[in-house]
Amino acid sequence: MTFRILEEGQEILESPFEYTMPLMEEAFESRLSRFGNDLLCYSPTAYPYKIDSHEQSNRFNYPSLSVTGLSCSLMCEHCKGRLLNGMKPTVTPEELMSECKKISERGGEGALISGGSDPSGHVPINQFGEAIAYAKKELGLKVVVHTGLVTEDTALMLKKADVDAVMLDIIGSSDVAEQVYHIDNAPEKMIESLRMLNNFKIPTAPHILVGLNYGKLGGELEALDMIAGFSPAALVIIVLSPVRNTPMEEVTPPAPEVVGKILTIARLGLEQIPLLLGCARPLGDHKIQTDKLAIQAGVNGIALPSQEGVDFAKEKGLHPVFLDVCCTLAYQWLS
The domains of the chain are located at 5-334
* CATH architecture, domain defined by 5-334: Alpha-Beta Barrel (3.20)
pTM: 0.96
What is the distance between the alpha carbons of residues 218 and 221, in angstroms, rounded to a whole number?
A: 8
Strand order in the sheet with 235-239: 88-89, 64-66, 110-114, 142-146, 165-169, 204-210, 235-239, 275-277, 301-303, 38-42, 319-323
In the chain, the N- to C-terminal Cα span, in Å, equals 25
Residues 61, 74 contacting (CB under 8 angstroms): no
Beta-strand relationship, 235-239 and 319-323 = unpaired
167 by DSSP, 3-state: which? strand
Compute CA distances 73 → 58, 120, 181, whole Å. 33, 9, 11
**Which residues of 188-280 form beta strands (DSSP E)?**
204-210, 235-239, 275-277
Q: List beta partners, residue 165.
A: 144
85 by DSSP, 3-state: which? helix
pLDDT in tens, the chain (335 residues): 689 999 999 999 999 999 999 999 999 999 999 999 999 999 999 889 999 999 999 999 999 999 999 988 887 778 876 888 889 999 999 999 999 999 999 999 999 999 999 999 999 999 999 999 999 999 999 999 999 999 999 999 999 999 999 999 999 999 999 998 899 999 999 999 999 999 999 999 999 999 999 999 999 999 999 999 999 999 999 999 888 888 888 899 999 999 999 999 999 999 999 999 999 999 999 999 999 999 999 999 999 999 999 999 999 999 999 999 999 999 999 97
What is the distance between the alpha carbons of residues 276 and 39, in angstroms, rounded to a whole number?
A: 10
State residue 188's pLDDT score: 97
Up-side HSE of residue 78: CA atoms within 13 Å toward CB?
Answer: 23
Compute CA distances 323 → 33, 165, 283, whole Å. 23, 16, 20
What is the distance between the alpha carbons of residues 72 and 123, in angstroms, rounded to a whole number?
A: 9
State residue 1's pLDDT score: 67
State residue 245's pLDDT score: 83
Would you call 52 exposed, middle or buried from its count of C-beta atoms within 10 A (0-12, 13-18, 19+)? Answer: exposed
**Which residues of 96-203 form beta strands (DSSP E)?**
110-114, 142-146, 165-169
